[in-house]
Amino acid sequence: MKFLDQAKIFIRSGNGGAGSVSFRREKYVEYGGPNGGDGGKGGDIWVESVENLNTLIDYRYQQHFKAKTGSHGEGSNRSGRAGDDITLKVPVGTQILDEDNEEVLVDLDKPGMRILLMEGGRGGKGNAHFKSSTNQAPRHAQPGEAGQERWIWLRLKLIADAGLIGLPNAGKSTFLASATSASPKIAAYPFTTLHPNLGVVDLAADARFVLADIPGLIEGAHEGAGIGDRFLGHIERTAVLLHLVDAGQEDVAGGYRIVRGELEAYGADLTAKSEIVVLSKTDTVDEETLEASARALEAECGSKPLRLSAATNTGVREALFAVWKEIRTHRGEIATDEDDAPVEDGGDWTP
């Protein structure tokens, strides 16, 4: 299934049905009079977040959603049937924005949320409502109220506990594949990842979290360079960022600064999030180069970076436990001794 995280659609609620002009006329029955029924209410437009969706691809093939008009009233005081509602089913984490794609109208960040976006028009009153002592045979009824219409944007921001960031080819997809059961595309060229990938990390029965891998950032991504920075929206809800820096690149400190600069340019307080810095692909460099890269990166980020090789599964578990500890801190949970327990590289652990 193709990943789509943004779509523009047109929605229109149903018109209300018209009231009826009718009179009771039965042979041998006295006291006839107006008996026109009311029109039915127009259909509403609802939006609902569901757990079994992870893309907005359905809204690429259908962009117009119009609820049904209410039925008209009839004689014998029979009211019209209400128009059928329309429910837009979207993935958890979807935001509804105004036509300008800036003002957020609704944020569906929890499963099962159901919100009324647009109410249908009211049905018109039949002529039975207008009879009085001075007007015993009214020959008019109300038309139905018109429905509402507007264009809106659907924007998906994935729900994940931790996000993977870094330059292209920093080893993010390989790390995701080694830490979870996800199967992202992995290749030895830039921008292998073209859309976000999610994986569930199972450290233990009570230690489970969702990890998001987004396309790599390059300098000028906020201005549209490379794939741009639009996919950064998928890590806005995360508790911690795992920043992977390729140990084999010439300037590890410069690479770190580029990514941090793009986070700052994007905004949304991404630079204020907890960050765990990791030297990745340690199996591709010798010990001397690795130590030099570690010192340069520590001087730049202000903390000692972790080291890992997703290809050999070295240091992966240690990085995951560091992420899990930050997630628990973000949730306000009390850390246990297990969180700080020494971790052996490799072993029999598998995602």
Q: 345 pLDDT exceeds 70?
A: no
Q: What are phi and psi of 57, to 5 degrees?
A: -60, -30
- Percent of the chain's residues with pLDDT above 90: 36
Between CA 72 and CA 100 the distance in angstroms is 36
- Range of lowest pLDDT (123-132, 198-207, 249-258, 281-290): 198-207
Find the mean pLDDT for residues 170-186.
76
Find the mean pLDDT for residues 29-46.
89
pTM: 0.75
Q: Which of 172, 160, 196, 168 is nearest to 278 (CA)?
A: 172
Which residue type occupies 68? K
Supply 145's token pair: 């109220």
Q: 186 pLDDT exceeds 80?
A: no
Domains of the chain: 1-156 (2.70.210.12), 162-340 (3.40.50.300)
Task: Please enumerate in sequence order all residues whose Cβ is within 8 A of that of 61, keeping only pairs 6 or more positions apart, or say none.
Answer: none
Task: Give the tens place of pLDDT for each residue, 193-226.
Answer: 566 777 888 887 788 888 888 777 766 665 665 5
Cα–Cα separations (whole angstroms), residue 103 to 57, 97, 126, 243: 22, 5, 40, 30
With contact defined as beta carbons under 8 Å apart, do 212 and 158 qualify?
yes
Task: Give the tens place of pLDDT for each residue, 269-294.
Answer: 888 888 999 998 888 888 888 899 89
With contact defined as beta carbons under 8 Å apart, do 289 and 296 qualify?
no
